[in-house]
Amino acid sequence: MIIFPAIDIKGGNCVRLLKGNFKKITKYKKSPVEQANFFFNLGFNNIHIVDLDGALEGKLVNKTIIKEICKNNKIKIQLGGGVRSLKSVEELLNLGIDKVIVGSAAVENIQFLKDACKEYKNKIVLSVDVRKNFLAVSGWKTQTNILASEFVKKIESFGVSRIIYTDINKDGTKTGPNIKDTLNLSKLTNIPVVISGGISSIDDIKFIKKKHENINGIVVGKALYDGNINIEKLSTLI
């Protein structure tokens, strides 16, 4: 199981949001580049990065920062935020990104997801961002009437590398992840699933590792930044 420390970038800074609300934002001291190197030096070779500005604008915004992080070619980065075209996917892969996360564009245009998976085999990650079982898009600002479970069934054969399941109402709360719904979703597909949102302690992570039924990884964000999880202890679970 892969542990992904998370870096959310907005305005050139490392930030965390509460339940995806851009008005409830916490900024942290380390720059995204410093934070990535800090994680890597502790043994985390896989990092989850979201360009929040990109998610809002529908295009890659923090390219310079991402390019700088990618200079360390030993870090495997899965990155999303504003990926809306095959050209954007190619640009990110050329920068050195390991896997490209698509969310809104995949939901709004399922053919785009299919084409991306065909063109860039084993490089496309689907972000399934959910409020009460229904998908949200456009930086989580727009709620759809599409059930996550139904959408995942439709894309089973496309060749998606992994699915990141985020319960938006858990994200940034440090109240514990939505393990039940993530496990339920994982049973609907053979695609590896990564759980995201609400991780509060090392105990959460240990429990998920035991109940891993197709859970391929865990994204850890705010609990790391706020010190609820000791990162040195976390590194022993890699």
Distance between CA atoms of residues 159 and 209, nearest Å: 25
- The H-or-E segment that residue 11 falls in is none
As a whole number of angstroms, the distance between CA 121 and CA 160 comes to 8
| Contact (CB, 8 A) for 220 and 196 | no
Rg, C-alpha atoms of the chain: 16
Instruction: List beta partners, residue 51.
Output: 9
Number of C-beta neighbours around residue 96 at 10 A: 16
Tell me the three state secondary structure of residue 94: helix
Active site residues: 8, 129
Strand locations in 68-161 (E): 76-80, 99-102, 124-131, 134-137, 142-147
Query: What distance in Å separates the CA atoms of residue 198 and residue 173, rounded to the nearest whole number?
Result: 5
For β-strands 46-51 and 21-27, DSSP reports them as: unpaired
> How many Å apart are CA 98 and CA 47, to the nearest integer?
10
